[in-house]
Amino acid sequence: MFEALTDRMQGIFKDLRNRGRLGEPEVDAALKEVRLALLEADVNFRVARDFIKRVRERAIGVEVSESLTPAQQVLRIVNEELVETLGGEPGRIDWTGEMPAPVLLVGLNGQGKTTSAAKLALTLRKLGQRPLLIACDTFRPAAVLQLVTLGKQIACDVYEEGTAARPVDIAMRGLQWGRDHGHTVAIVDTAGRQQVDEALMAELVELKAMVKPNEVLLVASAMTGQEAVNVAQVFHDKLGLTGLILTQIDGDARGGAALSIRAVTGIPVKFLGVGEKVEPLTSFYPDRLASRILGMGDMLTLIEQTQDMYSQEEAISLQKKLVKGQFTFDDFLKQMQQIRKMGSLQSIIEMIPGLNQLMKRPEMAKALDEKQFKRVEAIILSMTLQERALPSLIDGSRRRRIAVGSGTKVQDVNQLLNQFRDMQSMMKQMSKGSVPKHLAKLMR
Amino acid sequence: MMRFFRRAAPPPSEPDTSATEAAPASVEASLSSTRKGFFGAVRGLFQTQRSLDDGFWDELEERLIQADLGAHTTGDLIEELQSQHARLPFQDPKAAELALRAELLTLLKTTGDTGLFLPDVQDGIAIILVIGVNGVGKTTSIAKLTHYFQGGGRHPILIAGDTFRAAAIDQLKIWGDRTGVMVIAQAPGSDPASVVFDGIGAAVGRGADTVLIDTAGRLHTKINLMEELKKVRRVVERRHPGAPHETLLVLDAITGQNGLMQAKSFAHAVGVTGLILSKLDSSAKGGVVFAIAQELKLPIKFIGTGERLEDLSPFDPDEFLHALFT
């Protein structure tokens, strides 16, 4: 829907290639686009304004270097400033004091506190801790049961007293229980609340006063809009937050809320929550979130998703095949299906910087069309296993049969066979360390 | 044809909003915090005696973006107001406010009817599918819908289609107990499509006139989970031709611009018929619904305004804007 920021910026600087210094008119025009990108990413209006001001001061008058276009130069400053603002020590929990170290999870309804509690327990156990989960959400129906179930899934102790007792009492008795049973950290799940709800807020304040937590972590969804700053501010004022767990980062929200929260409260993002299953929280990297907020793709996350999909052995065996030029149609099919598992082509493309622009070329758009994808799949599935392994077998009559079987034309089959042959030879070349010329041009 | 799909009657306890000038007190009251937020600020801006200079427009832009309307919708609105101003200058900020309200109302009204289209009780069972991303309040909204339908003389049965999230079935059952309706459920981890298939059969067998189907929260970017949801919809269609009569997407009012992506993806996958805008009792403003109305023409059908069963109201654009601006 939105043109990639880089595309738009390239346009602004079209006439100004590698000469002189960055002047005010160009910088302002460029920053207008940056501002729009920030707002579309749900960065708070005021935070965006202050941010733009800082970048402007840094950018104007900067000498345009030889190697970068002016657009790249401005974006680099934007990116640096973003990373700097977002920065902080990732994933560290304060361990000083008595065991078990209490960690309080707070946040609005539906941001993922209970799931994050279980994920945090799993994460901390990986770091050698003995976590205990304490169920203090006595408000939402079945919240206690949810935590108990999640605890069972990851084999982690859960202290609960149902919903009759006061959360403060449950927490205190839970801590004692944890002490008696040798737990090193106690994660306290609390009821979700609307910040306007004074009564529930008071309960949290009391909880904090009694429990004396090492950490008070705000759980907030990456999908949160402009209100994120106010939410964070209220929680911070009343409870003194020490960090943020940003959840639902595996969606396509750009996560500008994190920048807003960081800018307004100064608390660092400590973990990211990914996935609906109980898996460990992931560490936070400011540079990745920065390019995501700018809508400039999230290559590293894509790579990680790909890594998740492939087992190590699969990757190695594929690599061997590629090097030897033994890549078959079966491998090709598997690859295609793997890619499809990762998401729609569109969403994958959006994660790759620059590819968005490339996709505007009609021939690229055609090549990556979903329908085309299905057609190729149908053609391969209409081949015998032998044919898939040894495409040279496929003669005229086999081509006709494959075309009929896949509901395509012989020309389509021919085209795929040719493309496949090209690809094989290209891969052989690449594995020898040389990048084919036409590809190199594309990648620049 | 339309005879079978009349607008579902509102429960008798609710005043007929089209006939009275006063909005129900509950909506008015529960939107007060939203009002006090940035919409309040928008109002404040209009009450000043300032001239409509660049500063005024900048400030209006800020207020609208702060309300989550998004940079694009906000830009369009301001451009429209400015061009009106150029043709026939607004006398004062108050005049600009009226123009803005008119524009926002037009956005909300181009989406079509905000009522439910359900078969009349005597004409057969009404089936409603409730969907959305994780944590937006699907299960709670279903409980409130149950209460709403009971007020209108219907007898709902709930199907626990969220077999994935830990304790989701129990959560629905607790609400079932509180509202005194039956919850049809299978074991956690069962295939949701088959739970729904069996559930509709059981509900018909027990003489329910209304079926509410809860589904697992899912991010709209997860292909496999969206495929699962498509399958649930297909199964509903096959089990009961003409159903689901409504497919309601629950959207958390605190959601920012991603709400538009959510609405788009769910609409594309399973054909959303309307929105439930939840958690409007917080200070969140839900301004993204204007962007959704502008781009997707999806009507809001209900707003969730609190944690009690009664805290769900049929959406009325006039009342909504009235509440936001007064």
CATH number at residue B216: 3.40.50.300
Q: Cβ of B150: how many Cβ atoms within 10 Å? A: 17
CB contact (8 A) between residue B167 and residue A110: no
Last residue of a domain, which of B53, B84, B109?
A: B109
- Asked if residue B204 and residue B56 are part of one domain, the reply reads no
Kindly indicate whether the ipTM for this predicted assembly is greater than 0.90, answering yes or no.
Answer: no
- Asked if residue B177 and residue B51 are part of one domain, the reply reads no
CB contact (8 A) between residue B33 and residue A340: no
**Contact status of B296 with chain A (Cβ, < 8 Å):** no
Span B132-161, mean pLDDT? 95
B259 inside domain: yes
- Asked if residue B301 and residue B212 are part of one domain, the reply reads yes
pLDDT on residue A433: 56
pLDDT on residue A188: 96
**Contact status of B132 with chain A (Cβ, < 8 Å):** no
Among A227-236, A417-426, B229-238, the range scoring the smallest mean pLDDT is A417-426
CATH number at residue B72: 1.20.120.140
- Asked if residue B296 and residue B151 are part of one domain, the reply reads yes
B296 inside domain: yes
Mutate one of B257, B290, B295, B311 to test the A interface: name it (highest A CB count within 10 A). B257
pLDDT on residue A343: 56
Q: What token pair was written down for A26?
A: 């160009």
- Asked if residue B265 and residue B133 are part of one domain, the reply reads yes
Last residue of a domain, which of B54, B77, B109?
A: B109
Span A155-167, mean pLDDT? 94
Mutate one of B134, B220, B266, B268 to test the A interface: name it (highest A CB count within 10 A). B134
- Asked if residue B126 and residue B94 are part of one domain, the reply reads no
- Regarding predicted confidence, which is higher, A374 or A325? A374
User: What percent of chain B lies above the pLDDT cut of 90?
Assistant: 57
- Asked if residue B52 and residue B196 are part of one domain, the reply reads no
Q: Please state, in angstroms and rounded to a whole number, the distance separating the CA atoms of residues A78 and A71.
A: 11
Q: What is the total count of domains within chain B?
A: 2
Q: Which residues pair with A158 in a beta bridge?
A: A133
- The sheet with strand B183-184 has its strands ordered as B183-184, B156-161, B210-215, B126-131, B246-252, B274-278, B300-304, B312-314
B4 inside domain: no
Q: Please state, in angstroms and rounded to a whole number, the distance separating the CA atoms of residues B159 and B172.
A: 9
pLDDT tens digits along A225-250: 998 998 899 899 999 999 999 999 88
pLDDT at A120 over 50: yes
Nearest Cβ partner of A252 from B188, B258, B285?
B258
Last residue of a domain, which of B86, B109, B132?
A: B109
Q: What token pair was written down for A194?
A: 């609307």
| pLDDT band, residue A91 (cuts 50/70/90) | low
Domains for chain A: give ranges and CATH numbers.
Answer: 5-86 (1.20.120.140), 101-294 (3.40.50.300), 303-443 (1.10.260.30)
- Asked if residue B131 and residue B69 are part of one domain, the reply reads no
Span A167-193, mean pLDDT? 94
3-state secondary structure of A188: strand
Q: Which residues pair with A188 in a beta bridge?
A: A104, A134
| pLDDT band, residue B17 (cuts 50/70/90) | very low
B234 inside domain: yes
pLDDT tens digits along A263-286: 999 999 999 998 878 888 888 888
CA distances to A51, A97, A282, B264 from A1, in Å: 25, 51, 29, 11
Reported as type and span, the H/E element at residue A246 is: strand A243-247
pLDDT on residue B79: 94
- Asked if residue B257 and residue B156 are part of one domain, the reply reads yes
pLDDT on residue B148: 96
B5 inside domain: no
Query: For B215, phi and psi rounded to 5 degrees?
Result: -130, 160
pLDDT at A316 over 70: no
Q: What token pair was written down for A43?
A: 């960065």
pLDDT tens digits along A43-71: 999 999 999 999 999 988 777 666 666 77
CB contact (8 A) between residue A253 and residue B256: yes
Among A159-173, A400-414, B49-63, the range scoring the smallest mean pLDDT is B49-63
- Asked if residue B141 and residue B49 are part of one domain, the reply reads no
B17 inside domain: no
- Regarding predicted confidence, which is higher, B325 or A124? A124
Contacts of B287 in chain A (CB under 8 A): 225-226
pLDDT on residue A218: 95
Span A123-143, mean pLDDT? 91
Q: What token pair was written down for B174?
A: 């607790």
First CA to last CA distance, chain A? 24
pLDDT at B40 over 70: no
- Asked if residue B84 and residue B125 are part of one domain, the reply reads no
B12 inside domain: no
In whole numbers, what is the pLDDT of chain A averaged over residues? 80
CB contact (8 A) between residue A196 and residue B175: no
Residue B185 near residue B169, CB atoms below 8 Å:
yes
- Regarding predicted confidence, which is higher, A357 or B94? B94
CB contact (8 A) between residue B282 and residue A149: no
**Contact status of B165 with chain A (Cβ, < 8 Å):** yes
Q: Please state, in angstroms and rounded to a whole number, the distance separating the CA atoms of residues B146 and B309.
A: 9
pLDDT at B269 over 90: yes
pLDDT on residue A342: 58
Contacts of B192 in chain A (CB under 8 A): none
Sequence-distant (≥ 6) Cβ neighbours of residue A267 within 8 angstroms: A218, A232, A236, A241, A242, A243, A244, A261
B321 inside domain: no
- Asked if residue B215 and residue B268 are part of one domain, the reply reads yes
**Helix, strand, coil content of chain B in percent (nearest 5):** 50, 15, 35
Closest alpha carbon within chain B to A2: B72
pLDDT on residue A1: 29
In terms of residue numbers, what domain contains B183? Answer: 121-315
CB contact (8 A) between residue A110 and residue B68: no
